Structure 1
């Protein structure tokens, strides 16, 4: 990393009963020589014992401040201590530890906005447990947006080296999508995506492919009118702003290798229209990126893996990809 992006990344603990600590240990053990320096908010003794039990060979280095992480990183995984109310057990959820997880996310955001960390990388949380601890947000993304400020509109991007996708609507039933989808919603998320592509991904003139909602993008209204009445006006508005956008495009021809070369991100109308292609193209390399925040946030594109916790079987590939992408984004933002 350049000096302008020298602050280490901060990794939040995620669900302590899940596989997050395990994949953090594996990420350092298998890839630290090619990863940007990062530190983890966790209990050092618990991590050291877990590293021995799983045989990862990861040295744990307790640090007292983010600034110490870079010097320690080559020799071991830097850990800034936190405390859990109850000893975490693999696969056994305990709401008593929810406040520590919430506090760690808040601390990570604070350190990043202060410039002491270069980006926030979040391990997966178990929302049901956090709800019992008073968590009032649908998920990580909304919580991070609330911490960032009242005017923030967060946008979820799933990104891999060969494909970036943004779902306009996310966790709602498919039957509700046509009623929820609006021209302004598409324009807002596409605009934020274009800005992020320039600032954080080094795309001087971002190219957006806007998917249609219906089969064959509605065929001029014969297979639903949403593409003609909602999506097409959004594309026109984006182009009027100087954003290079095309569409509405038939989603069934947008994601093959030749088509992917023609755009920098695909704006999709609903969850599976975006996530099925990227998980098919690169299941382990996909990264969840939150756009529209004043700080960089990435996350592995998987859940807490409670069933794998403590077994040594959880893959660290997506975390390694999330750490790598966060470092690259920090470099791009520094240059911009």
Structure 2
């Protein structure tokens, strides 16, 4: 049996699932995964079973950071277990099921790796990943992260504010937006040939969103470098938006004058708006966004919690959207 290293946030005994309840839940999950319920429940059950039973991979290289002092960058909420964080992922280059990236992303090669910073900047540059790592002091930030389907996590990320990089390259007055481009490599990303999205994967932020101190350029989580399925070797993290806004495995950061046409806007403009701020008053066309379940807290058996405006970061980021119709600019 494998045990995770104690990182200083052990649960009190009152929060430990009784053994009998645990065994009963596992039996039900097996039934669900075998097709006793609908396809959606089956998929969820299979992923949950993977998270519960998959062996912890060899410990990745350490990437520690000082506890962040940025306002809003830390929460005292219970962390989502490492196994859940690394087995429930959207990374369509490695498959469309939430469990696919954990199974398939071992093919991704993260060295050598460069990130090109270009467009409306005075100092464009191609950064080697190790140079990018050393650009600013690493911090640990514990962020709530929201999935569009109604699930959420609490993850201890390691990185630094994207604004540190932005200040280095000196955007021009024409730089109104920042565009993030993910690697597209059919040799190491087996699902790039699928028609589910237009490749490469592209995301974007308004320049003030990108400059906000909460917007993170992340290189790790749980004190280790990013696992491949979580966006190695470098990704963005924007905690007040839905998870798909945080581009993974970034190879290009472009500063542009016009709003970039992002991958999900191209794929479904009526469902995925450019801003994609967490707003419980705006439903997805096919489901409500008013409530959520926290991954790692018994999933389908856990009582839903109300979704917070801007994912709980309204005090820090709400002023950026003053006067905007957040139902129109969703």
| TM-score class normalised by the smaller sequence | under 0.3
Greater relative contact order: 1 or 2 (C-alpha under 8 angstroms, separation 6 or more)? 1
TM-score when scaled to structure 1? Answer: 0.25
TM-score (norm 2): 0.26
